[in-house]
Amino acid sequence: MAEPPKIKTTIADNARMQNLKTTFEAKYGHAPLFYAYAPGRVNLIGEHIDYCGYSVLPMAIEQNILAAVSLNESGNIQLANTNPLYSDFSVSCSEDIAIDRDNPKWYYYFLCGVKGIQEHLGISTLSGMSCVVDGTIPPSSGLSSSSALVCCAGLLTTEASQKSLSKVALAEICAKCERYIGTEGGGMDQSISFLAESGTAKLIEFQPLRATDVRLPDGAVFVISNCCVEMNKAASAHYNIRVVECRISTKMLARARGLDPTGLLKLAQVQSALKASLEEMVSLVDEVLHPEPYDREEICKILGISPEQFSTELLSANTQHMTHFKLHQRAKHVYSEAARVLKFKSVCDSRSPDSIRLLGDLMNQSHESCRDLYECSCPELDQLVEICSRSGAVGSRLTGAGWGGCAVSMVPTDKVESFLQAVREAYYQPEARRAEMEKQSLFVSKPAGGAAILLEE
């Protein structure tokens, strides 16, 4: 199994690395020993289905988290950030790393990665490290800045401990340890951050984790646009509520078809147990689950469980307040979206002359499902997607968790300039705050490579 590459680099050629090195030297009085980076990602299709056990189709983006690192004798992990908005932090290597999930600060994401590697490798006392972190991924934008930070920290902790782990092992460890901060993600973000390769998107499958190249059609590019509404996954219950609704739907569908729901937690598990197609699962949802929200009492009655079991076995820490659950809508989205991912890959593989239009249609259907069935959009994102479609995109959809963040649009290459201009004029320029953020909020993205260690030549 391949490990993340170690790349020799000339820092003088790279203004960003030069600045990071200078900041590091000013802070700690010596040069970094090595650098590590992990990219953000844009998910082209397959939203909110990784934690249900289904494949997704992301690509890494050029924006990343980059850290300069040295070992120190102080017995502490010292963290600083080039962004003055993010405060310094220091933690002793001799005590257990505590992560405050009620207060998701930047350094707690970093410490998730450190703690995950420490536990996996069974390191009782870590060596002291000094780090300065620099990020170019807009935060809370749905481009995975937080997971990239966890991955970068996991990779640099492995390197600082003079250990080696494969990309797949690192992705799995980092997906698991992000849960320390309370996000019940499915593993897409960490997988693409490590397994990405320049020039290709990836179909990421889970259990076992594997990545397959997906060659995107010539003649179109993907443009990312941020709606400028921030959404912090760990700070909000929205995301974990959806995870819980899918978990309950899994058990309800299993019960309706005479399966034992114990041990079934993901919608994909019901499909495999029933040996059904995704289309058959969509019909089953329509047949078995009613569109009106379910209350706790109805769910407990159907599943034959007590209210206490419901709270402890089905709800998570930040969803204990929930009283109503939209099971039909959530399950229908997941099964139909999982089918769209497979169609998207087969269209890319077919190299058909019509592929750009077909992929655009799938992206548009995905947005409608996210908006209407999964309800993970917001008015600004819907407005932005509509503007993108009007401005020449063949397909446009929210990407990432939603409730804010970014849209991704597929735009014919010959229309890119006019598309960017039209979106600028219709969405960004009319409002001062958006106009200010436009430079880092609207950009063409090419598939970038995965996480790596950089050594100065």
Task: List, by residue number, the catalytic residues.
Answer: 189
Residue type, 29: G
CA 79, CA 24: separation in Å to the nearest integer? 11
Q: Does residue 4 have a cis bond before it (omega within 30 degrees)?
A: no
Token representation of residue 431:
């409002």
Could you please report the per-residue DSSP string of 353-371?
A: TTHHHHHHHHHHHHHHHHH
- Rounded Cα gap, residues 374 and 250, in angstroms: 16
CA distances from 172 to 24, 86, 158 (A): 30, 27, 14
The DSSP line for 185-227 is: --SHHHHHHHH-BTTBEEEEETTTTEEEEEPPPTTEEEEEEE-
Q: In this structure, are residues 336 and 369 in contact, taking their beta carbons and an 8 Å threshold? A: yes
Within its chain, how far is the Cα of 449 from the centroid?
Answer: 16
Alpha helices in 69-144 (DSSP H): 106-121
Residue 314 backbone dihedrals phi, psi, to 5 degrees: -110, -30
Q: How are strands ordered across the β-sheet holding 395-399?
A: 395-399, 406-412, 220-226, 442-445
Half-sphere exposure for 201 (CA within 13 Å, toward CB): 25
